[in-house]
Amino acid sequence: MSTDEIDRLARKRAKAKMGWFIHAGIYATVNLGLVALSAASGRAWTVFPLLGWGVGLLAHGISVWMLPPGARCSSG
């Protein structure tokens, strides 16, 4: 691989990792609000968005952190 290809790959991987961190931060912020809303209403409905969105966050994390560098992904 040339230096330019390595640089391009490094930037792509860094962008993917930053995207996951942003996704995780938004997940935490929104779900903390939903937990507070759920607690205020006295019902435990918040488990459904936590689990549903959590599966998506897990899949995103696997695609970012566990695929080998240079692997083709659909977000590229």
Structural element, H or E, at residue 67? none
Please report which confidence band the pLDDT of residue 1 belongs to, taking 50, 70 and 90 as the band edges.
confident
- Taking each helix axis from N to C terminus, what angle separates 47-65 and 3-41, rounded to the nearest 10 degrees? 170
48, amino acid identity: F
Range 30-35, long-range pairs (CB < 8 A, 24+ positions): none
Name 71's Cβ contacts closer than 8 Å, sequence gap at least 6: none
9-57: pLDDT as tens digits: 999 999 999 999 999 999 999 999 999 999 999 998 999 999 999 999 9
Q: Tell me how far apart the alpha carbons of residues 21 and 41 are, in angstroms, rounded to a whole number.
A: 30
φ, ψ of residue 40 to 5 degrees: the values are -70, -30
